Amino acid sequence: MRRTQRRGATMDIQAGLERAFHPKVVAVVGAKQDNDYMWLRAHGPFKEFGGKVYHVNIDEREWPGAEELGFQNVSSILDIPEPVDYVAISVPNVVVPRVLQDCATKGVGGAHIFAAGFAETGTEQGQQLEDAVYQIATEGDFLVIGPNGMGLYNPALGIRPGRDVPYGETDGYFSFLSQSGTTAMSIASGAPANGIAVSKGVSFGNGTVVDATDYLRYYAADEATEVIGMYLEGVNDGPAFFEALREAAARKPVLVWKVGSTTESARAGFAHTRSEAVPSELWDAMLTVCGAIKVSSIEEMLETAMALRVVGDPGVNAALIAVSGGHSGKIADVFGQQGFHIPAPSPESIEEIASYAEIEGGSFSNPIEGPSARGPERLGRTLGVLARDDNFDLLVAEFGAGAVKQDDNALAERIEVLQQVRDEQPDKPIVTVLSTDIPYVEGVDIQGVAREFFEAGLPCFLSMERGAVALRKAREFQQRSTWLLPNSA
């Protein structure tokens, strides 16, 4: 049974999350040599960046290995000689309440519980343990992240939900919340590959004390967060979540991936985090009313976030440049099916293109392909003409990723052309969509190709289909009507 009661008024969730996301002192409880001190290594970068990390373990046989890694050992949280802001707890579920009692006595800011085996098991013991977590945290006035989750993520400080998750000082703008630990780590790891800088993230599992609504409210108020993404299996308090989502989406884009629309997936979500199923029609209606953006995969979430931040409003009229005549029909279908208009260039633009390109073997219409877009010089001229054409809001240029295997200069030349056009016409978005079949070359690192575009400050999508969907969602967000209900801010 999901918990619906709310905490006492004394618990300041937002202040607690601010402290936990920006700790000065971290305690890792229960790290073991058996798993290569995973949680100590996960927070190792925090120590590199100047934070303090204590290894808490009653078993002194685990101390030498932790000490070799540079961590100070103590037997109890109560032995730490300074305030503790964030605690990562990796002990068996039955030991968790004892550790939380020490957290309450110490006055920690927040504690993350990695262990599973709580209410999601459907057993009496599991429910009793989760009730104990709730009671100790609320009476002790501190936050609990989890149980059954991977905890907080702040890459700029080196706070990570796993040892293999990227970190580094960066001006992140994308923050996410996820009930799934592996999904959270996939989002964190996939974001850089999609040109996205992460500000914060959390894997919160059962959400016993702090749930999706709380994290959503925190991100909505967080100045560093410009776009919010979430993966959900369910929510504890539907009306509270609705209000939080409506308020957040009125301030910044909120991308929502909700699973559980089928009987089988709903059963999986219930077994994973004890999340009750919500009819998909009701969920979709709520997203529409609130102005949130529905996504259905990690890739769609990240690509839409990138489009929102880098492209902004792509408009509806797209100029398309294809790698071949065959692909001109394909790219027109793909973008047309996502609601984009594909108008012809103005007569003036056609006349200018015709002054340097022959019509034979290509098309001056839209999509454009052939001689007018062949080679960096002509491509640059044609893109410049289209960028100045008021018939178009958006330029989409297809790039065959296989070209990098045939011409060492192809990628650098394309990037240089796009940068030049962008600099000359900064108000006209230019995006790249990649293809792998023309030219078809085995072994192309398409993500590596995309990364080159991202590092050059140019938006890029791994396929025209994925690009069209992400750009449509960005357009719909920019053009949506905001529904303001009574008493809304």
Query: For the chain, what is the mean pLDDT?
Result: 91
pLDDT at position 275: 56
Residue 467 in this model has a pLDDT that exceeds 80: yes
The string of pLDDT tens digits covering residues 265-288 is 445 544 444 556 678 888 999 999
Residue 262 in this model has a pLDDT that exceeds 70: no
Distance set, CA 214 to CA 14, 198, 227, 361, 455 (Å) = 8, 19, 16, 59, 34
Integer distance in angstroms from the first to the last C-alpha of the chain? Answer: 33
Residue with the bigger pLDDT between 438 and 272: it is 438
pLDDT at position 489: 37
Torsion 438-444-445-448 (CA) sign? negative
Rounded to 10°, the helix 464-479/325-337 angle is: 30
Residue 48: CB partners within 8 Å, gap ≥ 6? 158
pTM of the model: 0.91
pLDDT at position 482: 42
Residue 72 is inside which H or E element, if any? strand 72-74
Mean pLDDT of 463-473: 98
Residue 485 in this model has a pLDDT that exceeds 50: no
pLDDT at position 362: 55
The string of pLDDT tens digits covering residues 93-131 is 999 999 999 999 999 999 999 999 999 999 999 999 999
pLDDT at position 3: 47
Nearest alpha carbon to residue 306 among 429, 157, 161: 429
pLDDT cut 70: percent of the chain above it = 91
Q: What is the DSSP string of 17-70?
A: HHHHHS-SEEEEES--GGGTTHHHHHTHHHHHTT-EEEEE-S-GGGHHHHHHTT
Structure tokens at 411: 């990628």
pLDDT at position 486: 42
Nearest alpha carbon to residue 142 among 118, 111, 113: 111
Give the range among 10-14, 245-249, 401-405 with minimum mean pLDDT: 10-14
3-state SS, residue 439: coil
pLDDT at position 267: 52
Residue 179 in this model has a pLDDT that exceeds 70: yes
Mean pLDDT of 15-28: 98
pLDDT at position 364: 73
pLDDT band at 10 (very low <50, low <70, confident <90, very high): low
pLDDT band at 438 (very low <50, low <70, confident <90, very high): confident
Domains of the chain: 13-307 (3.40.50.261), 313-478 (3.40.50.261)
Rounded to 10°, the helix 212-221/13-21 angle is: 70
